[in-house]
Amino acid sequence: MFTGIVEELGTVAELVKQTAGARLRVRCTRVLEDLKQGSSIAVNGVCLTAVRLDAHSFSADLAPETLRRSNLGDLTAGSRVNLERPLLPTDRLSGHIVQGHVDGTGEFLSLEPVGDENWWLKIRVPVELDRYLVYKGSIAIDGISLTIASLDGDVLSVTIIPHTYEVTTLGTYKQGGRVNLECDVLAKHVEKLLESVEYTGKG
């Protein structure tokens, strides 16, 4: 489990496409301190398994499903990525519950300054995720825990504070680019429970 609080910006060293899937190697420093082979690591909000480590990087295999559902297949050498290690039982939950299971990708529309180094981020979201989004609800965008500030049709907006802008990949986005979206898991559980109640009622 993760919190959506980015620990470090990593740099993609290489993305090698394979017959099925791909292998990603990321250069980084801080998250390597206690990373071991087999450890989980969130890369742009996607939970991956570190399969190879050296002094300056880790590698992870990307399954075909991961490439299909996330933006990791769009990465190239030099791309910056948000990194987070799993939450420890003794840690504070500073963001929100993030599983690292991306629900889909949204389209980056704009990032506009609103004063005092704050920003207004707009993302177009897939229609199938709309039912999980609520005003002031939580969402993870490329692994960043954010609060929904506006919903206008299929466009989601959030406010980005200076610190978040400085320590994440947000400043590198290009219009039309894909971003990973993970909706609040509590919303998905509520939906499942309501479906169960409705089904039972019909019986």
**In a domain? residue 43:** yes
How high is the pLDDT of residue 29? 97
Specify whether 80 is located in the same domain as 109.
Answer: no
**Of 35, 50, 84, the domain-final residue:** 84
* 138 has a pLDDT exceeding 90: yes
Specify whether 157 is located in the same domain as 111.
Answer: yes
Catalytically active residues, by annotation? 2, 40, 47, 49, 63, 101, 147
CATH, residue 38: 2.40.30.20
**In a domain? residue 133:** yes
Work out the pLDDT band at 198, boundaries 50, 70, 90: low
Kindly report the pTM of this predicted structure.
0.91
Which structural domain range is residue 147 located in? 104-191
How high is the pLDDT of residue 2? 94
How high is the pLDDT of residue 200? 62
DSSP-assigned letters across all residues of the chain: -B-S---EEEEEEEEEE-SSSEEEEEE-SGGGSS--TT-EEEETTEEEEEEEE-SSEEEEEE-HHHHHHSSGGG--TT-EEEEEPPPPTTS---S--B-S---EEEEEEEEEEEETTEEEEEEE--GGGGGG--TT-EEEETTEEEEEEEEETTEEEEEE-HHHHHHSSGGG--TT-EEEEEE-HHHHHHHHHHHHHHHHHH-
